[in-house]
Structure 1
Amino acid sequence: MARIGIYGSSFDPITNVHLWTASTVAHRCKLDQVIFLPCSSKRKDKTIKTEDLHRWNMVQLAIAKDQRFSADSYEMEQEGWNIYTYDTMKYFREKHLEDEVHFIMGADLLGDIGAGLWKKGDALIAENKFIVMARHGIDMLSTISRSPILRNHDDGRFHLIDKGLAMEISSTYIREELAMGGEPRYLLPDACYDYIKEHHLYQK
């Protein structure tokens, strides 16, 4: 049985912080595999700046040298208005029937689920395991204890992880730097930086 983490994001673009986070979680949670899951550009709650093909290609370039990492285009292939994390996790559980599948997310998202802001949030929590990464200013234990949705399933399914080092460089910051003619070369993998320059991405 393998231990697998599902790591979803827009990856627009993928950054060194994404890779560092995935590596840290894999090491500390003893994961055999981390699956990078780029979200659909059709999602109403996301503003994607780049074509799916470019985001997908950059993820592939970024993870190519780490055998623990793979990518899945499942959400990219769905209609944006029909995508719920509950259905995504059901897809991965059925795809990996013999394995233990975990959803990787930040403490801010855990709070949103606990507050009832996610569609099918109750079922998502009831049927899955989670790796929750600390976010500045969020008390994860308190977040769980204050929410009926979360605390009624607090049976070990939440693996709370404090990364130990705050690295808050975002994809948004990189896009803004590139749009202003900045130089964020060392904030993302070299291959992705070269790809962005080659395809003139994120320019005004």
Structure 2
Amino acid sequence: MDSPRPSAGDFTNPENYSFPHHRLSRILRDPQKTPIVLVGCGSFSPVTYLHLRMFEMAKDYVRHSTDFEIVGGYLSPVSDMYKKPGLLSAHHRVNMCNLAAEESASWLMVDSWEAFQAYQRTAVVLDHFDYEINTVLGGVQTEDGEHRDVHVMLLAGSDLISTMSEPGVWSHADLDHILGRYGCFIVERAGSNVDQATDSLARWRNNIHLISQLIQNDVSSTKVRLFLRRGLSVRYLLPTVVVDYIEEHGLYQEEENVLRAESRKTYLHKPKPLHEVFTCSWG
């Protein structure tokens, strides 16, 4: 790493913020391996089983194909300032992520730092994790007491790597910071051409780890919101605690931004049949 480690002056924390580390393993089991933390950035509106499944796929990949050891994983919901259609308030998105993480894997946590402030670039979010884990907490130790810094890595779907390969979407400085300093795990999605996307990112190829989906899953938050707007069940697409939370608070019944964008299609034309919007293969 050529650039200096992030410091406290580089960040502004939301009011009453504290970094979650209750599930972060502080002991490296295998001293021959490099400790890493996986960070999944996204809207999570709402969080789905595929979001959680991506962490498990990455865990399998790391265990079988790398010299890394995962010591923790984080969901980092984006800020409300992201202004994406269908983006529920950070309050609800963070709550749903917390419910999903707490009932799933014992190593997943939710960090609200990004969610409860102005929009932050992904490069800055990763710097924040680096600072909190390595500078504030002091990294991890081997069983013999030797200190080790934790390597922060981004976890994302193939749609992200596709945007990274498009000229002008990401600054070169941010790409070099994310892919050069930190690196990423990319979970391939059905119908994506990841190999073509990574060709233009060849200089960082060694830091880009591609993970194949052995069982294809194309569940998305967008499709879940569509189901909810049409009064259809989303059970078994999301964790039960998240479904219960959505029902309890009456979420996604009216999405003003989406409804305005779709008003012409929805009210002047017949909605698309569901089989054209959401398809799956039955095994």
What TM-score do the two structures reach when normalised by structure 2? 0.65
How much has 1:103 moved relative to structure 2?
0.5
Contact in 1 for aligned 2:77/2:93 (Cα 8 Å): yes
Name stretches of at least 5 consecutive residues in structure 1 with no aligned partner: none
Counterpart pick for 1:4 among 26, 37, 48: 37
Which residue in 2 is equivalent to 1:164? Answer: 214
Name stretches of at least 5 consecutive residues in structure 2 with no aligned partner: 1-27, 29-34, 64-69, 135-148, 255-283
Distance of 1:142 and 1:174 partners within structure 2: 29
Contact in 2 for aligned 1:6/1:104 (Cα 8 Å): yes
Which residue in 2 is equivalent to 1:87? Answer: 124
Count residues in correspondence.
Answer: 197
Which residue in 1 is equivalent to 2:194? Answer: 140
Letter in 1 for 2:95: N
Structure 1 segments of 4+ aligned residues over 6 angstroms from their partners:
none
Distance of 1:49 and 1:85 partners within structure 2: 18
Aligned-residue Cα RMSD (Å) equals: 1.8
Distance of 2:50 and 2:154 partners within structure 1: 18
Contact in 1 for aligned 2:189/2:213 (Cα 8 Å): no
What TM-score do the two structures reach when normalised by structure 1? 0.88
Once the two structures are superposed, residues 166-197 of structure 1 have per-residue CA deviations (whole angstroms, 9 ceiling, x without a partner) of 11111111111111111112211111111111
Counterpart pick for 1:181 among 208, 216, 231: 231
Between 1:175-184 and 1:26-35, the stretch displaced more is 26-35
Distance of 2:203 and 2:53 partners within structure 1: 32
Which residue in 1 is equivalent to 2:272? Answer: none
How much has 1:198 moved relative to structure 2?
0.8
Helix, strand or coil: the match of 2:85? coil
How much has 1:78 moved relative to structure 2?
2.7
How much has 1:201 moved relative to structure 2?
0.7
Counterpart pick for 1:130 among 180, 184, 197: 184
Helix, strand or coil: the match of 1:105? strand
Counterpart pick for 1:36 among 44, 55, 75: 75
Helix, strand or coil: the match of 1:78? coil
Distance 1:166 1:89, change over 3 A: same
The higher-RCO structure (CA 8 Å, 6+ apart) is 1
Contact in 2 for aligned 1:26/1:34 (Cα 8 Å): no
How much has 1:48 moved relative to structure 2?
4.0
Contact in 2 for aligned 1:3/1:33 (Cα 8 Å): yes
Contact in 1 for aligned 2:190/2:217 (Cα 8 Å): no
Letter in 2 for 1:144: T
Report the structure number with the largest CA radius of gyration: 2
Alignment of 1:13 with 2:52, yes or no, is no
Letter in 1 for 2:219: I
Helix, strand or coil: the match of 2:233? coil
Alignment of 1:73 with 2:112, yes or no, is yes
Once the two structures are superposed, residues 13-63 of structure 1 have per-residue CA deviations (whole angstroms, 9 ceiling, x without a partner) of 11112112222212322433210111111114x224422111111111111
Distance of 2:110 and 2:122 partners within structure 1: 16
Identity %: 27
How much has 1:67 moved relative to structure 2?
1.1
Distance 1:158 1:49, change over 3 A: closer
